[in-house]
Structure 1
Amino acid sequence: MITFAWPWLALCLPLPFIIAKLLPPRAQTNSALKVPFTLPEVRSGNYMANNRNLPLPIFISLWCLFVLALTRPQWLGEPVPIASESREMMIAVDLSGSMQIEDMELNGRQINRLEMLKTLLGDFIERRQGDRLGLILFADDAYMQTPMTYDRQTVKQMLDEAVIGLVGQKTAIGDAIALSVKRFLNKEDSNRVLVLLTDGQNTSGKVTPDQALEVAVANDVTIYTIGIGAEVMMERSLFGNRKVNPSRDLDEGSLQHIAKQTDGSYFRATDSASMSRIYQMLDQLEPVEQEQQQMRPLTALFYYPLALIMIIIIGLCLLPTLSALYQAVRQPRGANNVR
């Protein structure tokens, strides 16, 4: 809706008429000096060009627009929720070679682990409205793909663009934890949560998981670990199909230890349904911050009446020129016969 910052300035609206009443009347001029209405310039429309007095309707319009601008009209927008405190969550995703194993099923289609993770994790990111999210991708090394941001669409897009083998084929779990803790060090007034998703064990990196865990505990970082991979998978061989465990390299003991030491939880995702339930449990364990405050954006509108005033003034200044051009166009050309 439209509001006014200084509505009391509307009292200035009758000011010119009050001044006109208080001023003494002007002396009457001799009627012989009055301009007769039969002059050609009046009939041709040049009276406005030569008359220095502003017509009363135009003056009233300009004054009303000026007073309207003085009251500072502004548009009050819809309420926008503001989180009362900062909440931050870092998401670390494993991009090692084993993430391309197709032991997951989604919507009746067999897909690899990373594709399933992108679909369901993307929905989880969409629900984290009001939280600042960051994305870490790790394999041989860990690197920051998206720093902490409220822009959930960017985090989701960066996740969708991640490909297996982008940073190698191994798994640097310790580096991913250490990098997450480093990003939290400059944030003292926020909750520090890391969601670590992997399907293997630490096989690379400059920092071991135990070393990174010590740093995480010292800096009050809560880590939720998720082990990805089916427990049984049919594999073709020369002797026919046989059942294998595609998650034999998953170090569940280490992931459970990391989660327990940081007051977090360990989850096992064997299919898309269990992964979806894990994200729902994370929403309960780390609920989205409830908005306590609201802000209504204000958009200034005073420049609209000011712009209209300028248009009217420019039109009055151009009126003599336009009138002269109009008369020049209408005047018929005389023909001189030369004998």
Structure 2
Amino acid sequence: MFEFQLPWAFVLIILPLLTRALLPGYKKQEAALRVTNLPSWNSQNTRSAESAKRLSPWLLPTLAWLALVVALARPVWLGEPVRLPAEGRDLMLAVDISGSMDTADMELDNRPVNRLAVVKQVLNDFITQRDGDRLGLILFGSNAYLQAPLTFDRETVRTFMNEAQLGLAGKQTAIGDAIALAAKRMRENPSDSQVIVLLTDGENTAGSVEPVRAAQLAAELGMKIYTIGLGAESMQVPSFFGSRTINPSRDLNESELQSIADLTSARFFRARNTEELSQIYQLIDDLEPTEREKKTYRPETGLFQWALLAALLLTWLQLMITRRQMA
């Protein structure tokens, strides 16, 4: 696409006409020497007159002036729009992969599955929706490990989440260490909005940092921590006398997760099944929306130098013609 960046410059086209109209006229002086009845002089004068008829003395100067005005108007060629990465939030996902996440108290496609399988399924959809955010992934058990630093590459984060294995980080649960690690990595990459989404099915049983203390530090840094407690409240298990009902989430410390969320002005959610977990992540997506406005730019290629070159060539040509006529 072609456009002029300074279109107002075209008003200068009439400048020579105004100058001619406003300045006093030029009075032609009589020649000091008159030559009459000289055949050779008349022949040369005739050829000059014929050249003047073929090429107006004002044509080349006019074209040169137009080229200068075009150059001043800054013509540019605009390329195809290029979309820039949208500015969004920094969102760190902290996921529990301790031994208890192997509890098969969830359903997926009408079949019983363990908790981690459901988390992977739901997070796949959640990650897809976070276009424009920088996402990171921390997996924790007895220890907390950074699997993916904050990045716009959502596919990499999704891959690392899907490849997570139970017990890889140990069988216990270090919630405080996971929060501390997430806060540390986000502090190294400051932004206007930083959110941690922590999912666990137990209570803090390992690590060197107390969860509440880690949440206080995150709050001081302006971070929010949304906490999710995962696990059904009842489950049928086989026994010697048949099946019996147990509470597979008896180790879940809801009060501590609630305190962590409250300290950071966020919320605690309880997920008892796949549907509730999916709804929770959808709600978090609504509470912390991405910046949907897409920013684009169009690369510009300046063309003014060609108009300037044309003006110089036309001026040079006029000078050559004038010199030849005077020779």
Q: TM-score, normalised by structure 2?
A: 0.67
Q: 1:75 to 1:110 in 2, by over 3 A?
A: farther
Question: Match for residue 57 of structure 1?
Answer: none
**Partner SS for 1:268:** strand
**Cα deviation 1:148-189 (Å, max 9, x = unaligned):** 000000000000000001111000000000001101213333
**Cα deviation 1:31-77 (Å, max 9, x = unaligned):** xxxxxxxxxxxxxxxxxxxxxxxxxxxxxxxxxxxxxxxxxx98933
Question: Match for residue 326 of structure 1?
Answer: none
Question: Match for residue 79 of structure 2?
Answer: 76
Structure 1: tracts of 5 or more residues without a match: 6-72, 300-339
**Cα deviation 1:257-296 (Å, max 9, x = unaligned):** 1001100100111111101110110111100112252234
8 A Cα contact 1:138 1:176, kept in partner: yes
Rounded Cα–Cα distance in structure 2 between residues aligned with 1:108 and 1:296: 50
- Among 211, 217, 227, the alignment partner of 1:209 is 211
**1:154 maps onto 2:146 in alignment:** no
**Cα deviation 1:200-224 (Å, max 9, x = unaligned):** 0000001111221221121111000
Question: Match for residue 327 of structure 1?
Answer: none
- Among 180, 187, 190, the alignment partner of 2:189 is 187
**Cα deviation 1:13-33 (Å, max 9, x = unaligned):** xxxxxxxxxxxxxxxxxxxxx
**1:116 maps onto 2:129 in alignment:** no
Rounded Cα–Cα distance in structure 1 between residues aligned with 2:107 and 2:187: 39
Which residue identity is paired with 2:227? Answer: T
Rounded Cα–Cα distance in structure 2 between residues aligned with 1:265 and 1:251: 15
Q: 1:242 to 1:79 in 2, by over 3 A?
A: same
Rounded Cα–Cα distance in structure 2 between residues aligned with 1:206 and 1:297: 52
8 A Cα contact 2:215 2:225, kept in partner: no
CA drift at 1:82 = 3.7
8 A Cα contact 1:234 1:242, kept in partner: yes
Rounded Cα–Cα distance in structure 1 between residues aligned with 2:79 and 2:111: 49
8 A Cα contact 1:3 1:76, kept in partner: no
Structure 2: tracts of 5 or more residues without a match: 5-75, 302-327
Question: Match for residue 240 of structure 1?
Answer: 242
Root mean square deviation, CA, Å: 2.4
Rounded Cα–Cα distance in structure 1 between residues aligned with 2:249 and 2:164: 22
CA drift at 1:3 = 6.5
Question: Match for residue 168 of structure 1?
Answer: 170
Q: 1:115 to 1:298 in 2, by over 3 A?
A: farther
Q: 1:230 to 1:296 in 2, by over 3 A?
A: farther
Rounded Cα–Cα distance in structure 2 between residues aligned with 1:157 and 1:296: 33
**Partner SS for 1:117:** helix
Rounded Cα–Cα distance in structure 2 between residues aligned with 1:82 and 1:291: 10
**Partner SS for 2:219:** helix
CA drift at 1:191 = 0.7
Rounded Cα–Cα distance in structure 1 between residues aligned with 2:2 and 2:164: 48
Which residue identity is paired with 1:265? Answer: R
8 A Cα contact 1:82 1:291, kept in partner: no
User: How many residues are paired up?
Assistant: 233
Rounded Cα–Cα distance in structure 2 between residues aligned with 1:120 and 1:244: 25
**Cα deviation 1:58-105 (Å, max 9, x = unaligned):** xxxxxxxxxxxxxxx98933542542x452000000010000011101
Return structure 1 stretches of 4+ with deviation > 2 angstroms.
Answer: 2-5, 73-79, 186-190, 295-299
**Partner SS for 2:183:** helix
8 A Cα contact 1:86 1:189, kept in partner: no
Question: Match for residue 34 of structure 1?
Answer: none
8 A Cα contact 1:102 1:113, kept in partner: yes
Which residue identity is paired with 2:254? Answer: E
Q: 1:274 to 1:78 in 2, by over 3 A?
A: same
**Partner SS for 2:208:** coil
**Partner SS for 2:138:** strand
